[in-house]
Amino acid sequence: MKSSCRFSVILTFLLGLTNLLSAFVYGQLVTPYQYDVDLLPASFHRQRRDSLRAQLPDSSIAIFFSNPIRNRSNDVDYVYHQDPNLYYFSGFRDPNAILVIFKEPFLWYSGSKVTEFLIIQPPNVKDELWTGRMATIEDAEKVSGCTTIIYSSDSSCLNLPYATFKKVLHLRLPQGVANNKNDHHELFDLLEQFKSFTAPDSVKTDDYLLQKIVARLRQLKSPEELQLLTKSIEMSVAAHLEMMQAVRPGMTEYEVEAVGEFGFYRRGAEDVGYPSICGSNENSCTLHYQKNRKTLHAGDLLLLDMGAEYHGYSADITRTLPVSGTFTVQQRTLYEIVLKAQEAGIRDCIAGNEFKNPHKSAFRIISEALLKLGIASDEDDVRRYFPHGTSHYLGLDVHDPGDYQPLQPGQVITVEPGIYIPAGSPCDPKWWNIGIRIEDDVLITDNLPVVLSGNLPKKTSEIEKIIQDAQQNSRGK
């Protein structure tokens, strides 16, 4: 182990020289984390690791793996997105990384004791020419607050005495990881090492307990997280308003989508939080419709479920718009039912209430209305037209983890009831091809709920006025 440690020190020194040479050849050294000034601070990630450590069982170790790089086609990869859990506990956003957290201080190879360490891929001058600067140990220390960081080129980086721990905790291991045979410092090789080291029966691995602990931590948002989440919601609200002002017959779903996503990106979003849903007429009845290719016609409804992602945190907002600027009688009737159900659900977003209370209230209102209108014959039939839950947690994932226990201050959840009546449904055809969902992002507090997306209009009169005014102004030009 001592010789391996000496080798690691020498390798780190040589890689540092390589990085300096890269800076000399290609220009001033640019770190990948220097452009944004409002990233989560290292103190946040350090505190999150401390909170996790406090909940780990005695004599245990927790291991987090980065997301794999995914191939899109041929030699083109998808834009990389870090595993939310590794990002949450380290702030590190580059691929081929592993975070290890010990319950008790661990005697490191140098003779000092550590409570955690981060493994990162060593910079490579040739790769940097194509994909940009890779994070160094200094970069990783700055964003994570970890003081022990090693390169994955160290052959002993995962060679730990796993059998001496009562529990080796990890989440579901990354699946379908590609093997680049020309690179032995990537995630595939690290996973193979970990699997071989933990294969003996004497090693007690657990891929369930850590998931529960992480869910309890991530469901409560800190002030720093709420600041980023609020920003992603605000830019999403502004973009939704721009889509309201842009929509008109003759456009396509993808043109409206482009207006919204442009609104995200020009305000600083790094990505969409999830594939944008822009479904009109029959497509509004498909819950996760994503093709977005249909031409809009007068009389259509357009369901827009879209949210921006900012520094990892995703908004999740849905509005349903009349393309011509006026709801039909049937559309207005169902829309008002959904709005009433949503408002009841939001009122139930009170700390101490059961997580399902907002759904129960929303479902009761929709059920009573659909039965009265003769659209549904009983409660089971109502579920044909309202087939999903009303709320989920929101954060680094659009469907963030949580324990679904009574609501607590600091949680952010969605409230999104809906009614969807596809053609051929066993009801009067006048209701067919009407799909309506209204969704807002709600912060649970010690007092009344705060609707973080509340600045986006949702009353029928407000929506109609915005669309009609915009269409009239367009005709006047």
Least Cα distance to 65 among 42, 85, 43 occurs for 85
* Residue tagged active-site, from 316, 348, 441, 464: 316
Q: State how far Cα 471 lies from the chain centre.
A: 34
Q: Confirm whether 462 is a catalytic residue.
A: no
* Residue tagged active-site, from 33, 347, 388, 397: 388
* Residue tagged active-site, from 309, 400, 416, 464: 416
Can you read off the two tokens belonging to residue 8? 């690691």
Can you read off the two tokens belonging to residue 463? 């929506």
Residue 371, classed as helix, strand or coil, is helix
Rounded distance between C-alpha atoms, residue 254 and residue 292, angstroms:
5
Q: Confirm whether 439 is a catalytic residue.
A: yes
Can you read off the two tokens belonging to residue 308? 């921006």
Q: Confirm whether 305 is a catalytic residue.
A: yes
Neighbours of 182 (CB within 10 A): 6
Element (H, E) at 434: strand 434-437
* Residue tagged active-site, from 35, 58, 72, 75: 75
Q: Confirm whether 45 is a catalytic residue.
A: no
* Residue tagged active-site, from 94, 225, 257, 305: 305
Q: Confirm whether 392 is a catalytic residue.
A: yes
Residue 454, classed as helix, strand or coil, is coil
Q: Confirm whether 240 is a catalytic residue.
A: no
Q: Confirm whether 437 is a catalytic residue.
A: yes
* Residue tagged active-site, from 288, 293, 297, 383: 288
Q: Confirm whether 75 is a catalytic residue.
A: yes
Exposure string of 186-219, with b = 16+ CB inside 10 Å and e = fewer, is: bbbbbbebbeebbeeeeeebeeebbbebbebbbb
Q: Confirm whether 288 is a catalytic residue.
A: yes
* Residue tagged active-site, from 6, 172, 297, 399: 399
* Residue tagged active-site, from 49, 218, 319, 392: 392
* Residue tagged active-site, from 439, 440, 441, 464: 439
Rounded distance between C-alpha atoms, residue 128 and residue 186, angstroms:
15
Number of H helices, E strands in the chain: 13, 19
Rounded distance between C-alpha atoms, residue 426 and residue 422, angstroms:
10
Can you read off the two tokens belonging to residue 111? 């003779």
* Residue tagged active-site, from 151, 437, 440, 464: 437
The residue count of the chain comes to 477
Residue 115, classed as helix, strand or coil, is strand
Alpha helices in 70-221 (DSSP H): 84-90, 125-131, 137-144, 187-197, 209-218
* Residue tagged active-site, from 48, 248, 420, 441: 420
As annotated, the active-site residues are 75, 288, 305, 316, 388, 392, 399, 416, 420, 437, 439
